[in-house]
Amino acid sequence: MRYLPEFLDRSAQEQVLRDLREAVAQAPLFNPVMPRTGKPFSVRMTNLGPLGWFSDRAGYRYQASHPATGLPWPAIPDSILAVWNGISNYPHPPEACLVNFYGSDAKMGLHQDRDEEDLEAPVVSISLGDTALFRVGGTVRGGKTQSLKLASGDVLILEGPTRLAFHGIDRVINGTSTLLKDGGRINLTLRRVRKP
Ligand code: SIN
Ligand code: MN
């Protein structure tokens, strides 16, 4: 795993935020639910790029359009692509940018990112807004885990042997950033889905 604290400075974070506002106006945040149980996630999400990650009672999958509007997801803006291009060490563009919005009580259980066909490409994660307590372990469920604080502008890369590491968000620490006017946290996860 590679951790790049403060990879994006404040003005780069503000540019990403402006681009996200435009995209979210076209592709509004929605409340996904867990497969089978239909239990809602505590995060709200949307996607950018040719494919978007999505969960409903039928399961986890990638799809090309927004579940509510039926429209294609907006393109991934240059301000976000630049991060992938700068640090992924991967010669093809990402196909999906999952946008997760965490309100003050949101969290995410330990999971692996394994719905992609191309596991050669890294997972690149960008944090914006309030600091989160991130938990990361090995590739076996129930193994030892470590905690890391992810602050606004931090970038984390799961690659090589850590590509399938279990990870999740224990909690968001309110009031730790002034980037988002009403607080909360945004995480962007860039992924290649199909083999090039
Ligand atoms: C995720 O694994 O989808 C999100 C991780 C994060 O919010 O940092
Ligand atoms: Mn994940």
Distant-in-sequence, close-in-space partners of 182: CB < 8 Å, separation ≥ 6 = none
Mean pLDDT of the chain: 97
Three-state DSSP at 105 gives coil
Tokens 């914006």: give the residue.
128
Q: Which atom of ligand 1 is closest in space to residue 113's alpha carbon?
A: 2
The topology under which CATH files domain 2-191 is Jelly Rolls (2.60.120)
Closest atom, ligand 1, to C-alpha of 167: 2
Count of residues making up the chain: 196
What per-residue confidence (pLDDT) applies to 133? 98
Show the tokens assigned to 38: 């239909």
Residue 187: per-residue pLDDT = 98
Q: How many CB atoms lie within 10 A of CB 67?
A: 14
Q: Give me the pLDDT at residue 105, please.
A: 95
Whose CA is closest to 1, among 185, 187, 167, 158?
158
Detail the DSSP E strand segments found in 6-122: 44-48, 52-56, 59-63, 96-102, 108-111
3-class DSSP state of 130: coil
How far is 162 from 160, CA to CA, in rounded Å? 5
Residue nearest to atom 7 of ligand 1 (CA): 187
Q: Whose alpha carbon is nearest atom 6 of ligand 1? A: 187
Q: CA 128, CA 55: separation in Å to the nearest integer?
A: 23
Is the Cβ–Cβ distance between 47 and 98 less than 8 Å?
Answer: yes
Strand order from edge to edge, sheet including 145-150: 108-111, 167-172, 132-137, 145-150
For the stretch 27-66, pLDDT in tens is: 999 999 999 999 999 999 999 999 999 999 999 999 999 9
Look up residue 101 and give its two tokens: 């919005």
- The per-residue pLDDT for 132 is 98
Task: Look at residue 18 and give its three-state secondary structure.
Answer: helix
**What residues have CB less than 8 Å from 117, skipping those under 6 apart?**
193, 194, 195
Digit-coded pLDDT (tens) for 119-169: 999 999 999 999 999 999 999 999 999 999 999 999 999 999 999 999 999
CA 56 to ligand 2 centroid distance, Å: 16
Q: Ligand 1: which of 127, 155, 167 to mutate, most ligand atoms within 8 Å of CB?
A: 167
Helix (H, G, I), strand (E, B) or coil at 86: helix
DSSP character string of 153-183: T-EEEE-GGGTT--EEEEEE-TTS-SSSTT-
pLDDT number for residue 185? 98
- Find, among 151, 152, 149, the residue nearest to 133 by Cα: 149
pLDDT score, position 9: 98
pLDDT category of residue 101 using cuts at 50, 70 and 90: very high
Please give the pLDDT value at position 36: 94
* Domain positions in the chain: 2-191
Residues with CB under 6 A from ligand 1: 100, 108, 125, 134, 150, 167, 169, 187, 189
